[in-house]
Every structure is written in C-alpha cells, then in structure tokens.
Amino acid sequence: MNKLIVFLVFLSFGLTQAQQLNCTVSINSQKLSNSNQQVFKTLQTSLTDLVNKTDWNGQVYKQNEKINCSMFITIESNSSDQFSATIQVQSSRPIYNSTYSSPVLNYNDKDFNFKYTEYENLLFNPTVFESNLVSIISFYSYVILGMDNDSFDAQSGNDNLEIAQNIANIAQQSGNKGWSQIDGNQNRYFLINDLLSPAYAQIRKTSYEYHTGLDLMASDLKGAKEKIKSALVDITKLNASKPNAFLTRVFFDAKSDEIVSIFSGGPTISITDLTESLNRVSPLNSTKWSSIKY
C-alpha cells in the first residue's frame, strides 16, 4: 500500500509540474549570409525548451494561465562559436472578461553576446554562472514573471525580481556587457535595480493601477478610463524627482500605442491634464499623444 501511495504522489507531481511561461522564441540570422543555418534552428528549439519547460518559481499555472511572451533574437555577427545579437523581449497579460491581451513589457536589449556550440545543454542554475546565454534568457524570464505579478497585485513581483537581480549579480562577475553600471545607464543592471528600488516604486504602482483599470473596462468603460488616467497622471510624481527615468521609458515603450487607443474612443472623459502629463513625462512620444482623438 505504501508503495502505491508513493507512486500516486509521484504521478500527481508529474501531472502538475510547474511551468509558468508560454514563450515564442524566434531567431533571425538573415544578416549572416554564409553561416550554418541549422545551428540557429537547434538553438531556437533549445531556448524554447529552456524557457517553457523550466520551473522558474514552483508555482503551478494551468495552461490558460501561463504568461504569453516572446523573445525575438537577431544575430548581428558571429565568429566560430561566438555570437553578437540583440533580443526583443515582450510579454502580455489577459484583461478580465475580454479576449484582449495588454502588453506589459516590450524591451530591446542590444548587449546580447554569447557563446554557443550546437547541441550543448542549456540548463539554469540560480547559484552558478553557466553561460551568458542562459543567464540573459533566465534573467528576462524572471523579469517577465515579476512584472506580470505586479500587474495583478501591487508589489507582488518582488520574489521573481529578486531572483533576476541575483542572476545579474552573479553574471556581472563574468565581465560580459550589460550586467554592470559601467556599461551604460540603460541596461540589465539598471532595469532590475530600478525595478526593486523604492525610489522608482511609483512605476510599479502605476502598472498595477493601470491594469486593474483595464480589467474594469468590460463592466464600466468610463470608470475604467478614469482609473487608467489617474494611474498615468500619477507618474508625474516620479518625474518630479526622477526626470527622464529609464523605467518610465520602459513603461511607455510597452504602453504608448495602447494609451492612444484607450483615450481615442468613447465614452469621452476630460484628458487635458492627462495629455499635459504624458508630454511632460514621455516627450519622445509627443507625436502619439497629439494623435489622441476625443
């Protein structure tokens, strides 16, 4: 009987194995005219397995609860097993009582350099630097998880974001570009440190309030728009102390088109103060803000 119980527990564990991401990984190697294209197909399959089959945090998600995301990798150059690339990381979350998914993250990392040999095992170890390739993919997997958590429950992404920060701290010792503050002021180092810094907490608060506003749109469209507007205007609180903050740009890189869409349709609400705030905190998107029709 005891053996039967052990077997059933093991079987149950296998059936509920925790996997949290539903990620599409794509590799574009068109810039390399004379390279072995098969290696990129193998790499794409291996990275897809790494992201989608790894249990990142032990939480059990149903299939329809997994976070939809994508990682689009563009290979710029290579020499033997050394590759220089960029990676566009995107994620979205479903909106309550709708078929719409709202973008949460849309980030382009241009410091994606890695070493890879075809068919090598890609395994994540949270305490060891295995390779820059695994570290970067794992880092963004945890950032996706943390930011998704924040959009449903304020500040609930800390556990995942702290693991991402630990990955960054360990990887920094490798000397690879993008992990250190000396590599520029808009990279992985600042992305994760700013996300966890109390000085930038307003961005995460705005994300939560913005998305809960979206969740109201099916039942109270005007009230939802007022809530989203309030969340966006609140970003000026951060802008007053941290003008041109990196996280502000990251937020609007994901949200600018959606914001225009939300406030260009009915029912109308007063948005004069909103457009003033948007132009102040995100002037790079001023053309988009001027296109809002109301």
Domain boundary residue, one of 196, 227, 247: 196
Give the model confidence (pLDDT) of 10-22 as tens digits.
333 334 457 899 9
Do 111 and 169 lie in one domain? The reply is yes
Do 62 and 125 lie in one domain? The reply is yes
Do 189 and 127 lie in one domain? The reply is yes
Do 98 and 128 lie in one domain? The reply is yes
**239 lies in a domain?**
yes
Residue closest to 152 by CA, chosen among 98, 92, 107, 111: 92
Give the model confidence (pLDDT) of 192-203 as tens digits.
999 999 999 999
Q: Is the pLDDT of residue 9 over 90?
A: no
Do 34 and 102 lie in one domain? The reply is yes
In this prediction, residue 294 has a pLDDT band, given cuts at 50, 70 and 90, of low
Number of domains in the chain: 2
Give the model confidence (pLDDT) of 230-260 as tens digits.
999 999 889 999 999 999 999 999 999 999 9
**80 lies in a domain?**
yes
Do 105 and 180 lie in one domain? The reply is yes
Domain that holds residue 224: 213-290
Query: Alpha-carbon distance 40 to 48, whole Å?
Result: 12
pLDDT of residue 89: 98
Give me the chain's average pLDDT, please: 92
**11 lies in a domain?**
no
Do 34 and 130 lie in one domain? The reply is yes
**103 lies in a domain?**
yes
In this prediction, residue 66 has a pLDDT band, given cuts at 50, 70 and 90, of very high
DSSP, collapsed to helix, strand or coil, labels residue 92 as: strand
The token pair that represents 232 in the structure block:
């966006």
What average pLDDT score do residues 43-68 get?
95
Residue 129 near residue 173 (C-beta atoms within 8 A): yes
